[in-house]
Structure 1
Amino acid sequence: MEPAHKIKCMAVDDEPPALQLIASYIAQIDSLDLIFQTTNSMVAYNFIRQNEVELLFLDIQMPGLNGLDFIKSLHQKPTVILTTAFREYAVEGFELDVLDYLVKPVKFERFLKAVSKYSQLIARPSQEIIAEKPSVADEMYIYFNVNKEMVKVFLKDILYIESIKDYIKVITTGKTIVTYQRITYIEQKLPENSFIRIHKSFIVSLHNITSFKGDIVQIGHLKIPIGRFYKKKFVDFFASINK
């Protein structure tokens, strides 16, 4: 049975074999519709300004207008999945609020995972449950500067925060954002009764901890290490609340 709505996709890559690979993957998924593909970033730019594109598979390193500048140039941005052979662009890509980052050569299983993220993203609004009388804690939020845009994030949605040199990656229940900020600064801004630093590179939401054992904290299926300099504080905290 054909899906009620097919997701309008565009693929852009200056390397024809890489472009054809993505096109072949899209063709295997019934819910996706490849409406345009090109090896020329300027041709892609002109097309996307005049046509509706919902999901964009975009290479980063291209002559003329590279992928990151391509994203920055758009006023109305589709959801973007980056494809590149260079991992070093990951931080800047996530700072531009891309959905995912596929490293070439892209495997079909990894491609499916990225598409699944998009399906979850568009399905989420109809599944949201809004409490009639939310508590004060539920209403607490913080703004992060993402690509010169202030993005509002509710504290209850944050799963954990990871430090990447001078950046932090904020992983929430609905998205991941990257912003230029030191983890020590954001640690001071977060309420101590809701968040705890367990490693030089990680702050976790106490509310979202599924379990912990030894030197590992588990949040859902994610396993996050506890640093040896932070372990005593972590153990003492849980000992105090279980007295």
Structure 2
Amino acid sequence: MNVSCLIIDDEPSSQNVLKSFIQKIEYLELVHVCNNALEALEYLKNNTVDLVFLDINMPQLSGIDFYKSLKNPPKVIFTTAYSAHALEGFEVDATDYLLKPFSFQRFIKAVTKVKDLNDVKIDYIIVKADKKLHQIKIEDIYFIEGLGDYIKVHLKNSFLVTYKSLKMMHNSLPKSIFIKVHKSFIINKNKLDYIEGNLAIINTNKIPLGQKYKQEFLDHFNV
């Protein structure tokens, strides 16, 4: 399973080191680079990632304060030139902490921890709906529809509505299978029947493919 990565660092030299290291690891996929925490906040409003390489000492908003502000934070590996920040980094449940300048071998050790966590197989999720807790197999979910502060989880012949954001749900599902195709829709690519124009057809349902998401979605099928 690939691990999507975001770099947040205000130093171009540090960005370049991380880009080079990420490129050497087959399962890591760099999706974006941000020069500061405020830029990253804007990016994460509409995008999700599995892992953030986060510098701690940045202007305007520190990496620690940025990470604490996230409601549903991805896994994080802190990077900094100051060893005094290490303890604070681990206090916010960081996966690892890299002290600059770090070697490629030390980088591998850090990202391997993330991959080990991501490779844990998720078979089901718990959805609270109708005052009940429903255990749903991942493979039984056809697609998920965002409805503001709620989501509708579509199964083969039924659906459940629960109080949760689309972003929260996406973060809890394997991203190699569940793909965001529109600002309001995530689909299970294994349930796709066919694509027609700007529509994904799943079990007779016509799901719009947003212009922003369409090509990334098609890339999963090498189209």
> What's the TM-score once normalised by structure 2's chain length?
0.53
Partner of 1:16: 12
Find the aligned partners of 1:93 and 1:43 in 2 and give their Cα distance: 21
Partner of 1:27: 23
C-alpha distance in 2, partners of 1:52/1:11? 13
CA distance in 2 between counterparts of 1:112 and 1:49 reads: 29
Displacement, 1:12? Answer: 0.8
Shift of 1:125: 4.9
CA offset at residue 41 of structure 1?
1.7
Which blocks of at least 5 consecutive residues in structure 1 are unaligned?
A: 127-243
**Corresponding letter in the other structure for 2:10:** D
Structure 1 partner of 2:153: none
Q: Corresponding residue for 1:79?
A: 75
Given that 2:3 and 2:115 are in contact with CA atoms closer than 8 Å, whether structure 1 keeps it comes out as no
SS of equivalent residue, structure 1 residue 102: strand
- Report sequence identity in percent: 43
Q: RCO (CA 8 Å, sep 6+): is it higher in 1 or 2?
A: 2
The match for 1:55 is 51
Which residue does 2:111 correspond to in 1? 115
SS at match of 2:29: strand
Structure with the greater alpha carbon radius of gyration? 1
Question: Deviation at 1:49?
Answer: 2.2
SS of 1:50's equivalent in the other structure is coil
Tell me the distance in 1 between the aligned counterparts of 2:98 and 2:36.
20
One-letter identity of the residue aligned with 2:92 = L
**Mapped partners of 2:119, 2:49: distance in 1:** 18
**Alignment match, 1:104:** 100
Alpha-carbon offset, residue 124 of structure 1: 3.6
Letter in 1 for 2:87: V
CA shift at 1:106, angstroms?
A: 1.7
CA distance in 1, matches of 2:17, 2:69: 26
Match of 1:138 in 2: none
Matching of residues 1-243 of structure 1 within 5 Å: 5-125=1-121
- Where does residue 155 of structure 1 map in the other structure? none
Alpha-carbon displacement from aligned partner over 1:19-65 (angstroms, at most 9, x marks no partner): 11101111111101100002122111110121011000000000011
State how far apart, in whole Å, the 1-side matches of 2:47 and 2:120 are: 25
Secondary structure of 1:53's partner? Answer: coil
Where do 4+ consecutive residues of structure 1 move more than 4 Å? none
Deviations 1:131-153 (A, max 9, x none): xxxxxxxxxxxxxxxxxxxxxxx
2:38–2:61 contact (8 Å) kept in structure 1: yes
Counterpart of 2:125 in structure 1 is: none
Q: Tell me if structure 1 keeps the 8 A contact 2:2–2:27.
A: yes
Name stretches of at least 5 consecutive residues in structure 2 with no aligned partner: 123-223
Q: How many residues align?
A: 123
Number of the residue aligned with 1:139: none
Q: SS where residue 24 of structure 1 aligns?
A: helix
Report the AA paired with residue 107 of structure 2.
F
**Aligned partner of residue 63 in structure 1, secondary structure:** coil
Distance across 2 between alignment mates of 1:88 and 1:49: 31
- Give the TM-score of the pair, scaled to structure 1: 0.49
